[in-house]
Chains A and B, each alone.
Chain A
């Protein structure tokens, strides 16, 4: 679906392999044909014209070429065997929007309520696989994952350590729970339980009313659900601040060391570069760990919510979550957003 930069890849890769094979053969030929039977005669020649020298030089030259080509091939293979995360994300998003969400909605509002649990599983798996891919990308370059260029300017400010804040998941569940108690407070007649909403079923958008078993699925939630959500929230409250602190400490350590390095290597640019590389690497290793922990938290919170809720609740939760993600990429809203001026006056930003 998303073509890689070079479509002639198999052909080119074969060609390169063949070239390398012939070069390798050349090297082995050279070294085997080397006249080692009469070593004494070689001593008469000056060192620079020594056949062993010229052969080994030639060999080295070819080895250099081969190693260069192998490197090129490795990069090439890496390109062939991996794809830009941006492409992956776009494809993942389109699958969610065009395939999985309509499927889930069909099962919820359509004719196949028996299939709800399958669609819930599929959607949940889709989210989990995205977080898995995000982990892989972070291990390759965490900085790009923390500041993703595949997210638009409407989404970016809402990202916490590369993706949505894990609290968002429980808050979405809470919004269902609160919503239901609100309904109960202001209930006048039974028709309020049916919530009319615009449902996008892929090929057609229809106004649909939630079936009663779905609309009432959040009503009088069992105490166990509330307790479980509270437990998840409690776990997050313990973990989130430590991640923020670790992130800050990683930066603090790096900056302090950079200041010392700068003082020490001001006049030696090359040495400074090597030192910076080393300390950036150490800092990024720590940040990768923090990111993986944050992502693990997102994954487990999601999984815990799915397992704590009933199938109908989980279906609604995932529908809402998917809709939420898709909403950020609404073309119309996005283009309006990008042209929208701020209304903030300078008075708001008074010094201190």
Chain B
């Protein structure tokens, strides 16, 4: 009896050491992993919601967490193929979960270089959460910064402004986008509005700088058009800007917002403001 117990104890010890040793060796063998391949077989979010028995919010969290790890792993090829699918599944499961929309759009733009997908995701976010100005804000931001598409940006800023609680910066972004689109009149009005309605000295300064910018643009347009007319008629650019007035192409020579003269380049037929609007 005694000897049998010893035998068993020794056998247990041997097998313990054996499998421990094997484990260390097996760990060293590299195995090709295709993590997340199974998630592609997620059926559409609509059906999945019913299959989760009320835990759809939890499942959304899990899939979102998984997707963060998945997309952080740069070794995986073709990982963006199902980006839209995954994020629409999350949206279906828990439409009010805000973070995934932002992250999904971010991945789409910066990693997958697919701006249209980003906009679709943010649109989806706004559709399901009409009170969240952050989505059109971000969309406008991407449109302006990455695509340089000010028309699109302006549209988004307008949408954002329509939502209660939208931060004041959106007004400024909208105004600037309007300026960029060349609609100087409206831009001037917007900036004037901003200038007059704020008491914050910093915002006033910003607004005044922008007003300077807009005025400069407007003046530039006006004067350069007159210059072109002059040249067309007389064959050369005038010696001085005042000549434009003398000849009737301008009613007066505009000065910049600070009352300074514009710098006239006779060779090119352009005027430029004497200073940068931001260094005033």
Partners in one complex: no
Binding site for A on B (CB under 8 A): none
Binding site for B on A (CB under 8 A): none
